[in-house]
Structure 1
Amino acid sequence: MNWYIEVLKKYAVFGGRARRKEYWMFALVNVVIAIVLAIVDAILGNQILSLIYTLAILLPGLGVSVRRLHDTGRTGWWLLIGIIPVVGFIVLLVFTVSEGTRGQNAYGADPKEGGYSPAHS
């Protein structure tokens, strides 16, 4: 949960780098919250809670995705490949599960070298 909150603290930060763990923990918590909200929305008979959550999480989700691509040495514009059905999803999946560039790259210092972990702060 600390990784999720850390992404929310960087609400619209598109610079820097994000570790795989930061990205995937954020994605996992999002899926769990989306499932819970879908159940609540089904009970209420509307989709307002899911819509509000989706809008609220849009910028942090884009930000962590761009930072994750930066960690692999790619520009954030690679997110647009997701527009291509199936192939775009697969390419982005491969990029997000790939290990980040070791050491400094064009987007900043290696987040693993800093020793930062929200779970230990």
Structure 2
Amino acid sequence: MNWYIGVLKNYVGFSGRARRQEYWMFILISGIIGAIINLIQMLVGMQIPWLTIIYTIATLLPNLAVTARRLHDTERSGWWMLICLVPFGVIAMIVFLCKAGTSGTNRFGNDPKYSVNN
């Protein structure tokens, strides 16, 4: 849960780098929370999924920020997120997000895997 809270606190942090663990733990916990919200909406019988819409909007900026930082760790610009707009771009994006980050310092900052903060 600390990974999730850490990403939410750094919701406008588009600079720097994010480890695979930070990114995927955020995605996992966010998915679990989304599933719980959807279950609650289904049990209550909501016709319009307002809670899902609110949650998605609330986590959009942190999600974009952690994705940009994850791409930075693989020596790519955050603009690579736009590859999802082309056919099969989502597959390429998943490959980029699963790759190990560059070891040592790159043009986006120090290696988060070996930083003192983690």
Scaled to the shorter chain, the TM-score interval is over 0.9
Residue 59 of structure 2, aligned match among 51, 57, 60: 57
TM-score, structure 1 as length reference: 0.92
Map residues 1-121 of structure 1 onto 2, 5 A cutoff.
1-44=1-44, 45=46, 46-85=48-87, 87-117=88-118
One-letter code aligned to 1:61: N
Could you list the per-position Cα deviations for residues 60-81 of structure 1 after superposition, in whole angstroms to 9, with x for gaps in the alignment? 0000000000000000000000
Report the TM-score, using the length of structure 2 for normalisation.
0.94
Q: In structure 2, how many angstroms separate the alpha carbons of the residues matched to 1:70 and 1:112? A: 13
Between the aligned partners of 2:43 and 2:86, the Cα distance in structure 1 is 34
Instruction: Show structure 1 runs of 5+ residues with no match.
Output: none
Deviations 1:23-65 (A, max 9, x none): 0000000110110111111223131111110000000000000
- Give the paired residue count: 116
Unaligned runs of 5+ in 2: none
CA distance in structure 2 between the partners assigned to 1:19 and 1:3 by the alignment = 11
CA distance in 1, matches of 2:52, 2:6: 21
